[in-house]
Amino acid sequence: MRDGENLITQPPKISNHVVNNFKNLFCTNPFLREQLLVDEVIPSLVRENINAILTVVPYHEKIKNAIFSMNEDVEPGPDGFGAFFFQTYWKIM
């Protein structure tokens, strides 16, 4: 993501940039800035520690275990590939 000429690649910095952009968008009026309209309109439903757990990228072994625990005859996903494909070509993937 770009912030002017700066390239932002770290997820926490990207999320801060997006939040700040919307805060500036919604809080251009000094009256609204005092009332923190953004906090009222967009409630924080997930605490930081829970969000950290939810956004962790799973380990390679966990993904492999999930794929190989699926029935190979399961219906294909939106990409058109079923579990059989991923189980058969796992080493290539």
Helix residue ranges, H only, the chain: 11-26, 30-35, 37-41, 48-54, 60-69, 83-88
Structural domain boundaries, residue 61: 57-93
pTM metric for this prediction: 0.42
Judge if 50 and 10 occupy the same domain. yes
Judge if 41 and 65 occupy the same domain. no
Residue 60 phi/psi, 5-degree rounding, is -55, -45
Measured distance CA(71)–CA(92) in Å, rounded: 20
Judge if 48 and 61 occupy the same domain. no
The per-residue pLDDT for range 4-50, each reduced to its tens digit, is 888 999 998 889 888 888 877 766 666 555 555 566 666 678 888 99
Q: Higher confidence at residue 86 or residue 33?
A: 86
Residue 83 banded pLDDT, cuts 50, 70, 90: very high
pLDDT at 46: 82
- Tokens coding 46: 């997930």
**pLDDT at 84 > cutoff 90:** yes
